[in-house]
Structure 1
Amino acid sequence: MNKELSHYVNRDLSWIEFNRRVLDEAQDPDTPLLERAKFLAIVSSNLDEFMSVRVAGIQDQIKAGYTKTDFTGYSPAGLWKRLMKRTTQMVTDQYRMYREVLRGLAKEGICFKSMEDLTPTQESAMEIYFREIVFPVLTPMAVDQSRPFPLVHTKELYLSVLLRKADDDSDEAPLFAIVQVPSILSRFVLVPGRTNSKKIEFVLLEELIEKHINTLFNGYTPIAVHPFRLTRNADLTLNEEGAEDLLEEIEKELRRRRWGMPVRLEIDKGMHPYALQILQEELEIGDNIIEIDGPLDLSFLMKFGGSIPGRDSLRYEKIEPVYPRELDEADDMFEVLRQRDVLMYHPYESFDAVNDFVLQAADDPNVLAIKMTLYRVSGDSVLVQALAKAAESGKQVTVVVELKARFDEERNIAWARQLEKAGCHVVYGLVGLKTHAKILLVVRREEDVLKRYVHVGTGNYNGSTAKLYTDVGLFTSHPVIGVDASALFNEVTGYSAPHDWKAFAVAPTDLKDKLFHLIDREKEHAKAGRPASIIAKMNSLSHQDMIDKLYEASQAGVRIELIIRGVCCLRPGVPGRSENIRVISIVDRFLEHSRIIYFNNGGEEEVYLSSADWMTRNLTRRIELMCPVFDASLRKILINILQLNLNDNVKARELQPSGMYEPVRNKLSPFRSQFEATDIPKWKDYID
């Protein structure tokens, strides 16, 4: 099949294009230098996860002899070759940009130095640091007949060391050992400044260890030292049906993850061929080896900017989230929510309002029950502490903790145990399904009746990411939403027949059908000559049936605008199929994460918030939630937010029929949606 003529863009190739857009931010000279360094780190972290999950899965298919093509026309082997070509080119471009960023930082007096360029005073200081801080935590691991090749942990940095005895001048193969670069120490080590110099200078930890590697091998002479890094298959394979205790099963699988099959080996450019041969044989890595001209794993740059005092001109201007004005002066949040719904837009509005809501509920003697879902929780979660406090005070507290949130499993296990100790009812969801819905329910006794207060969000209940992600949250006491919220928790925590939803649409049972119904309704409006349009904002779109449904709507004359940050398998702008569909992606300072869906509905506009992207996993293998916004003024606010994104002509890229993205360029004044969103009255002027 000619891949360019396929009706669909391949999911993994689309992801590569997304990470390329992240790299574009590191290349943009208008991005402050320390922020450019952060984007380089994000590219590395993204690529790590992609390799350990998506590429690992493709390799498993190849090993199993699977040759069937997917709906985009790719076989596993063909896709793997193309992915390796594109990722290798991306890494090359990433390190070219790394060197450019270093040159820019050097002009600002911030330098990474090689050990050879240090002054005698600096060299002495680094020797003391090595001897007192680094040396005690290093463990040299020799490989010979009596000592088998040690376990190489995934995504950890190591040094391969080739050695000879000090008096050995034979032609025999050198001895081999490895040394793990301790991740508990910073990758960048501050070097004492030169006299009267304002420069801030660092050396890399692995270079410091290499300089003093002989101290680990007394009586031997190092002849070659090179960094390497292994990525293993990190996808969990759980037997949920047969597991008596899901928490214990996940803990076992996390331990097995350390032994996952190797997926990628990153090596230092110019690595000694004998050292590489040993690594290839022992790790059974095959051909997936990436040679890197620079420090391995640039994710260390994520913390680098925080180590530089001052230099505010090299960072984004600080944006302080404001407390939602509807709740700012309220002594009783319940009183406000009885009168009106409240919408919050993070990170421009503070997540503290959610924390305060739960804290007030925990202290309120009239609150009988608190129920909520937790998917990814921050390390110092106020919410977890508030829930524990509520349970200890005798309230019924039920928490659905998703243990299978990828790469957050260990943290969630810790929170689950803490909540159980406090007396909360902790539920681990349903077999075979991740609980990805974001919902909080408070049941309160008011004048001999029970009143339900609900918070529904597009993002996780995580105070840290709420400062970095754009997400929307809705507080409401609408009785229909309250009844649906209770029914949703009953289905997740107990035995309950499928509910006849009045407001919600819930995956995996009926969310897809609800969306199809709403799209079909727009088609009918278009055919009848009534206003018909759809605006949908999400992270990813890859569900084939959903894409086909959007193609149908486009062919019927429905105008469709999609704001999709990451993967998009839909091919827009194709005559006769998708000429009425426009797709843009915005990659900027904050991670675009909110899911908002708008339907014109012949002029009777409807807007929904959702936890779900339009991917197969979200619509068929997860508990997801879509909630309507009933308040007309809040609907207008959400439409304003969508319009902010659609007007972006600075950071928006538009998906072309080819599957590639091009910057949005027009003759209008520059408009950067994330910066415009800081002006809250612009998008929230309908509230009063």
Structure 2
Amino acid sequence: MKKCENKMNSNFFNRELSWLEFNERVLEEACDTNSNPVLERIKFISIVSSNLDEFFMVRVASLFDQILAGFNEPDMGGFAPAEQIGLISTRTHKMVNDQYICYNRSLLACLKKEKIFFVKPKELNEKQKLYIENLYYKTIFPVLTPMVVDRSRPFPLILNKSLNVALLLENKEDENEPIFGMVQVPSVLERLVELPSKENEKHFILLEDIIKMYIETLFTGHNIITMACYRITRNTDQGLDEEEAEDLLEAIQQFIKKRKWGMVIRLEIEYGMSEELLGILTDELEVPKEGIYEIKGPLDLTFLMKVYSLPGFVDLKYPVYRPQPIPKLEAEGDMFDAISKGDILLHHPYHSFDPVTELVKQAANDPKVLAIKQTLYRVSGNSPIVEALAQAAENGKQVTVLVELKARFDEQNNIIWAKRLEMAGCHVIYGLVGLKTHCKILLIVRMEDDGIKRYVHMSTGNYNDITAKFYTDIGLLTADPYFGSDASNLFNMLSGYSRLTKMYKLDVAPVGLRQKFISLIRQEANYARSGKKARIVAKLNSLVDEGIINELYEASKAGVEIDLLVRGICCLKPGIKELSENINVKSIVGRFLEHSRVYYFHNDGEEQLYLSSADWMGRNLDRRVEILFPIEDKGIVSNIKDMLKTYLKDTAKSRVLDKDGNYRHANRRGKAVMNSQEYFCKQAIKQAQAFLNDKIDKELE
């Protein structure tokens, strides 16, 4: 975000431009030749593309919806929807141009040095040509569907994010009116086609290039005047009327189908596409002029994740890191015994996610376990937790699962899991009308010798065994009866009409979480005004909420020292005299996706530390079910404080936000290079090894 892109009379950065600056930091990682191996850079540049897809489908689409509805009110940064679209267009066009400069000038050259080649048709040798010809006629040709537009055949429905080849055919009846034709590049086939090559080399060609080589076989008898690839992005946020939906499951399924024909928000075209071909596409698709992107390279670089996933080439990636076991759990044979002895901290991906999965599996087969209750927001494609819950129900346990069907772009996946759980005998809840259930909580009810005991797992991240390997999140395992009581009350509220009348330790949105945060911030401000030390440290993904930001400004003016670790969007302007001069904002973008939410308040020396599923965004505080839970074990409090200190010392992957909206690398002058994520990896390995050594020593005694 540059200075000219923000209205200087506003105390807030624009949300959309701030998000684009986050994606710019991801792009910087793709361009970083010093600390990132080439295949890691490939991964980052692919993420830039997938991020932009979702940004256009949801955020830019929402702005167009506002314009169509006649809504012209400025956002808290001072920009009306039309102004925002103009600024976004300028910023994203530059970003995409920079992205392809990085790809064409740097990444391709680096891949060539490693004997990985992307081959164009004119560069094929005879053996490769023969291989492609055989592949085309045996595998590709039968799948293709050529289409033309004429009086009897209207312009076809173009699927969201599909890659297509558009062409003009010579019209023998009227040479001044060429015929428009197109072929969708089939998504059922691998886009990245490996070719025969020399030993120790990898040669690839893109599927669309093969189709273009043989395009005449699809339009026999017609001369092809011109052709080029294009891709569209549609508005996928079509709106869901939950109040009118008799069956939420069916409503979600219809909602997914509607995404296929939302308004076209963006049109990406191959560099050099003819004006006539472009004119037909823009007219038929009704693309706004600021939504046209001419691309100097392959459209949609998300295919590069396939390159990243190539077997071998370990020297072209970060050193392999295997999540470590947790000593406290390893010391006990039984997880319930281990948790009973004291709260246990889990820090993913540095710690393995396996204990969470194993806890559900153990509960499913433990005759003492009576009930399991869990929320699921985003789970993996082959989730062991879902299978364990299904097994528990089949074993006769009382199993209640809240599956959030409205988790954007995971709806279809969650529908499949919901049906699987229902068939197994689980009681499945589909969330609350008007609210997304975003909290991450697991409750296990067990009959023990001295009566009923409840075991609880709470986390800042999803119950997803795949993302737990590259998202940083923090979880807590506890048998504290007050947490158990609160968890029961929460699930009763989610499954029925119970009100959260008495909660001992949890704060829950949308009931009282906003007020809790405001109270905690004001408490620090009051300490500062009375001349006492006052400090707030918050680590979160996004800071957008105007009310919370204003509270932080007031705290800063009172003298509270505030450090914010905000990975993504930050609408707060730091460092402004007499407003936010006591606020520092850092963003860390590195090997792992920072995802944990941690909130620390000095509280006149009686420190308060919380973990949460919630960011400081209006949607988290007012329109979602979220939890905030305190960390009370002194050892765990100390551990998390050390984590925050390490993050704040990061000089390798952190950027500092200034008052004009620019993110600059942390000042390394006179400081040792500190990569917080690498530090946590080494620390987890060291702790696990120390435990193993102690165990061996005891066995030898």
* Short-chain TM bin: over 0.9
Post-superposition offset of 1:665? 1.2
Show the counterpart of 2:324.
322
Secondary structure in structure 2 of the residue aligned to 1:662 = strand
Amino acid in the other structure paired with 2:681: T
Point out 4+ residue stretches in structure 1 off by more than 4 angstroms: 681-688
Amino acid in the other structure paired with 2:21: E
Secondary structure in structure 1 of the residue aligned to 2:655 = strand
Show the counterpart of 2:660.
658
Q: Once structures 1 and 2 are overlaid, which stretch shifts more, 519-528 or 394-403? A: 519-528
Contact 2:609 2:637 in 1 (8 A): yes
Query: Where do residues 602-681 of structure 1 align in structure 2 (5 Å cutoff)?
Result: 602-666=604-668, 667-680=670-683
Structure 1: runs of 5 or more not aligned: none
Identify the match of residue 377 of structure 2 among 357, 375, 378: 375
Show the counterpart of 1:158.
164
Matched, 1:13 2:12: no
1:117-136 Cα shifts (integer Å, max 9, x gaps) = 11111111111111112111
Matched, 1:188 2:199: no
Q: Once structures 1 and 2 are overlaid, which stretch shifts more, 617-626 or 326-335? A: 326-335
Show the counterpart of 1:280.
282
1:217-259 Cα shifts (integer Å, max 9, x gaps) = 1212222121100100011411111111111111111111111
Structure 1: distance between partners of 2:577 and 2:212? 59
Show the counterpart of 2:697.
none
Query: Where do residues 570-589 of structure 1 align in structure 2 (5 Å cutoff)?
Result: 570-589=572-591
Post-superposition offset of 1:9? 0.5
Show the counterpart of 1:142.
148
Post-superposition offset of 1:2? 6.9
Show the counterpart of 1:119.
125
Q: Once structures 1 and 2 are overlaid, which stretch shifts more, 527-536 or 50-59? A: 527-536
Contact 1:641 1:683 in 2 (8 A): no
Show the counterpart of 1:82.
87
Show the counterpart of 1:175.
179
Contact 1:534 1:599 in 2 (8 A): yes
Matched, 1:295 2:298: yes
Contact 2:346 2:474 in 1 (8 A): yes
Matched, 1:435 2:441: no
Structure 1: distance between partners of 2:189 and 2:43? 19
Structure 2: distance between partners of 1:2 and 1:657? 11
Query: Where do residues 190-269 of structure 1 align in structure 2 (5 Å cutoff)?
Result: 190-194=194-198, 197-269=199-271
Post-superposition offset of 1:680? 2.5
Post-superposition offset of 1:184? 1.7
Show the counterpart of 1:538.
540
Contact 1:637 1:683 in 2 (8 A): no
Structure 2: distance between partners of 1:423 and 1:556? 56
Post-superposition offset of 1:394? 0.8
Post-superposition offset of 1:199? 2.2
Post-superposition offset of 1:380? 1.0
Contact 1:362 1:387 in 2 (8 A): yes
Show the counterpart of 1:305.
308
1:550-591 Cα shifts (integer Å, max 9, x gaps) = 011111111110000000000001110111110000000100
TM value normalised by structure 1: 0.97
Secondary structure in structure 2 of the residue aligned to 1:365 = coil
Structure 2: runs of 5 or more not aligned: 695-701
Post-superposition offset of 1:596? 0.8
Query: Where do residues 315-354 of structure 1 align in structure 2 (5 Å cutoff)?
Result: 315-354=317-356
TM value normalised by structure 2: 0.95
Amino acid in the other structure paired with 2:678: F
Secondary structure in structure 2 of the residue aligned to 1:4 = coil
Show the counterpart of 2:479.
477
Amino acid in the other structure paired with 1:398: T
1:28-48 Cα shifts (integer Å, max 9, x gaps) = 012110111111110000000
Secondary structure in structure 1 of the residue aligned to 2:616 = coil
- Structure 1 residues 297 and 2 mapped into 2: Cα distance closer, same or farther (>3 Å)? closer
Post-superposition offset of 1:500? 2.2
Structure 1: distance between partners of 2:643 and 2:306? 31
Structure 2: distance between partners of 1:272 and 1:236? 33
Show the counterpart of 1:59.
64
Structure 2: distance between partners of 1:81 and 1:104? 35
Post-superposition offset of 1:177? 1.1
Query: Where do residues 405-420 of structure 1 align in structure 2 (5 Å cutoff)?
Result: 405-420=407-422
Identity %: 51
Contact 1:472 1:594 in 2 (8 A): yes
Amino acid in the other structure paired with 1:12: E
Identify the match of residue 70 of structure 1 among 64, 70, 75: 75
Amino acid in the other structure paired with 1:59: F
Post-superposition offset of 1:276? 1.2
Post-superposition offset of 1:349? 0.7
Structure 1: distance between partners of 2:265 and 2:307? 28
1:469-519 Cα shifts (integer Å, max 9, x gaps) = 000110001111111111011111101123222101100110010111111
Structure 2: distance between partners of 1:603 and 1:249? 51
Query: Where do residues 444-459 of structure 1 align in structure 2 (5 Å cutoff)?
Result: 444-459=446-461
- Structure 1 residues 147 and 120 mapped into 2: Cα distance closer, same or farther (>3 Å)? same
Show the counterpart of 2:698.
none
